[in-house]
Structure 1
Amino acid sequence: MKQLPNILTLSNLFCGALAVIFILHAPQYIAEFNGAEYTITNPEPVYWASAMVVLAALFDFFDGLVARGLKLQSPFGKELDSLADVISFGLVPAMMLFRLLRSAYMGMRDVFDVSYFNLAPALLVACFAAYRLAKFNLDTRQSDNFIGVPTPAVGLLVASFPLIVLYNPFNLAHWLQNIWVLYTIIAVLCYLMVAEMPMLSLKIKNMSIADNWPRFLLVILALAGIPVLGFATVPFVFVCYVLLSVITRPATGNAVK
């Protein structure tokens, strides 16, 4: 029982490692047919990677919940959690963005002139996630809320992109196949992870509407958005989360994860 939170944390890491494998095994190439070039992709592994990120987020949620419930919180568990998060919510979204950038470039006429240096900015997401986890593990101001967007939120946001490309709600796939849109997303996510701005924690300690109305509103928006927006609900809720955090400016206190 004493190791249960650590087992859940390692399950998070296991899902992240599986997601990496799925992303690496999604072949993409250009083929010529009747004199025309076509981009051919085997997308299924990337969609499985998205599912692994969701599972990792569930394990990440429950490891802290179980640790607090069983009073098994420890510095070791905190460090192990960060090591798992940097893979599941740092490296995995960086690799997803890398593949999306690669796909966007493959639709361009000068695709064979594109260098890996053009795709390398996607890896900054992993670097900034690691920086955030290291910095804010030592931060003494976070208790009820965060400073900067937490890495699981970034991981879930990016994990929705392959599914948006597949189902194309509101023609959003077009925007996720534009290199400049992707570069902008990368820059914004890197900034938000390390920004000195208070962000809401979704932990609900009581059922008071006055204390929790932003959290309840996010849940309502998510439930209302699913039947209308589909997988586009994830970026919609992410934007609402950032805006609500800016508007309410939640208070910070003593250090937690």
Structure 2
Amino acid sequence: MKQIPNILTLGNLFCGALAIIFILNAPQYIAQFNDVDFGVTAPEPVYWASAMLVLAAVFDFLDGLAARALGVQSPMGKELDSLADVVSFGLVPGMILFRMLRIAYMQTEEVYSMNYVLLAPALLVPCFAAYRLAKFNLDTRQTEHFIGVPTPAVGLLVASFPLIMLFNPYNLGHYFLNYWLLYAIIAVLCYLMVAEIPMLSFKFKGLKDKNNLPRIILVVGTAASIPLLGFASVPFAFVLYVILSLVFKPKSI
């Protein structure tokens, strides 16, 4: 029984590894731009990578739930969870953003000068995610609240981007073809992961606890946005989460 949480954590890692395979093995085809042939990556496998990130998040939620329910929380389980998270919610989002930057540059005349230096900022996401996870394991203040945005939230946010581009609600997918917007998103996410900002956790202590108010607002607001925004409800929920954390931040951590 004590290995059930660890098995669920490994399920998280398995999904993250599968997402990487989808991204790396995305087939390429030839497209013409100003009479010049370029190799373009087919986007469908990236959508599957997004789906794998969602499944990884489910495993990540269940492993902690199982550990608490079975009373088998352990330092080893905590370290294993961080190792899985740095792959699923650090490396995979970085690779998705790398692909999205490449696609964005392919839409412009600057495609002729595109190189890996221009795409490399996407890899800052796994670097900051690793730093955050190492810091989280050592920081004893993070019992009732997080300090900085947790990596699964970042992973789910980035996972929604290819799906927004696919379904294009309210023509929002068009904006992800702007590489300056992608650079800005990368910078903001890296900052939020390591910032000394108290963020809400999802630990409900009781139905009458007044501290549950921001969590209830987040859940209700997100659920209400899904029929209207579709996959764009994920960025909406992320922004709402940050705002509620700032408004309802604890007096002390």
Across the aligned residues of Structure 1 and Structure 2, the Cα RMSD in angstroms comes to 1.8
Q: Which amino acid counterpart does residue 156 of structure 1 have in structure 2?
A: L
Q: Secondary structure at the match of 2:109?
A: coil
Unaligned runs of 5+ in 2: none
Once the two structures are superposed, residues 108-128 of structure 1 have per-residue CA deviations (whole angstroms, 9 ceiling, x without a partner) of 113132110000000000000
State the partner residue of 1:65. Answer: 65
> Does structure 1 residue 141 correspond to structure 2 residue 145?
no
Q: Which amino acid counterpart does residue 145 of structure 1 have in structure 2?
A: H
State the partner residue of 2:103. Answer: 103
| Contact 1:146 1:199 (C-alpha < 8 Å) held by counterparts | yes
| 1:226-241 equivalence runs, <5 A | 226-241=226-241
* Number of positions where the alignment pairs a residue of Structure 1 with one of Structure 2: 253
| Contact 1:53 1:159 (C-alpha < 8 Å) held by counterparts | yes
| 1:123-142 equivalence runs, <5 A | 123-142=123-142
Once the 2 structures are TM-superposed, how far is the Cα of residue 29 of structure 1 from its aligned partner? 4.7
Q: Give distance in 2, aligned partners of 1:132 and 1:183.
A: 20
Q: Secondary structure at the match of 1:176?
A: helix
Once the 2 structures are TM-superposed, how far is the Cα of residue 205 of structure 1 from its aligned partner? 2.0
| Contact 1:142 1:252 (C-alpha < 8 Å) held by counterparts | no
Q: CA 1:225–1:38 in 2, change beyond 3 Å: closer, same or farther?
A: farther
State the partner residue of 1:183. Answer: 183
Deviates further, 189-198 or 244-253:
244-253
| Contact 2:9 2:80 (C-alpha < 8 Å) held by counterparts | yes
* Alignment TM-score, normalising by the size of structure 2: 0.95
* Alignment TM-score, normalising by the size of structure 1: 0.94
Q: Give distance in 1, aligned partners of 2:222 and 2:23.
A: 27
Q: CA 1:99–1:252 in 2, change beyond 3 Å: closer, same or farther?
A: farther
Q: CA 1:146–1:33 in 2, change beyond 3 Å: closer, same or farther?
A: closer
State the partner residue of 1:25. Answer: 25
Q: Secondary structure at the match of 1:110?
A: helix
Q: Secondary structure at the match of 1:67?
A: helix
Q: Give distance in 1, aligned partners of 2:32 and 2:182.
A: 27
Q: Which amino acid counterpart does residue 42 of structure 1 have in structure 2?
A: A
Identity percentage of aligned residues: 69
Q: CA 1:211–1:46 in 2, change beyond 3 Å: closer, same or farther?
A: same
State the partner residue of 1:117. Answer: 117
Q: Give distance in 1, aligned partners of 2:41 and 2:251.
A: 46
Q: Secondary structure at the match of 1:226?
A: helix
Q: Secondary structure at the match of 1:142?
A: coil
Q: Give distance in 1, aligned partners of 2:235 and 2:154.
A: 10
| Contact 1:144 1:252 (C-alpha < 8 Å) held by counterparts | no
Unaligned runs of 5+ in 1: none
Once the two structures are superposed, residues 114-148 of structure 1 have per-residue CA deviations (whole angstroms, 9 ceiling, x without a partner) of 11000000000000000000011100111111000
Q: Give distance in 2, aligned partners of 1:131 and 1:32.
A: 41
